[in-house]
Amino acid sequence: MSIAFEAMIFARHAHRNQVRKYSGTPYADHLAEVAGIVATVAHEAHDGATADAMIASAWLHDCVEDQDVTLADIESRFGATVALGVAGLSDLEQGNRATRKRLSCERLAACPGWIQTIKCADLISNTSSIVRHDPHFSIVYLREKRDLLNAMTKADRRLWALAWEEPVVG
């Protein structure tokens, strides 16, 4: 069984009681979308991470932040590379929103390109939902997204460009 498949099973179980904020759909749908987006560009090793490790990290990217899962749990089950990916993608900073977002930009700027690529996929998945369901908050979110994208200079350029696009909401 591939590590990505194991990560999918693990993440679906870890998030089994979580739903998306605006739609009420299972949170695993978001994880599947992020992993699917990553899979479109993860055909070869990136900065020392295999495609399988990238996809596994995409599935697991919110486990530590949102669930009762530790980085040690991730590392023991999926290995150091996947744990590095999840650590880079986990928003664990403290402080007010502005401080947390600044620290998040700094953390992601220091990450290898493969982790930045997964973050681009996460932004692509989140943006249309936020813009569609919360236009007021989307003003803040889109500014923060631009700051993140400016900091992520090593991401896959195709996903980076897609993440820059503003969603068309009908």
Calculated CA dihedral for residues 91, 92, 93, 98, nearest 10 degrees: 40
**Annotation marks residue 165 as catalytic:** no
User: Looking at 66, 75, 91, 147, which residue is catalytic?
Assistant: 66
**Annotation marks residue 134 as catalytic:** no
Numbers of helices and strands, H then E, in the chain: 10, 0
Cross-strand partners of 19: 26
CB atoms closer than 10 angstroms to residue 78? 23
Contact 118, 34 (CB under 8 A): yes
Which of 65, 66, 154 has its CA nearest to residue 108? Answer: 154
Task: Give the tokens for residue 53.
Answer: 């490790």
Question: Residue 120 corresponds to which amino acid?
Answer: C
Annotated active-site positions, please?
Answer: 65-66
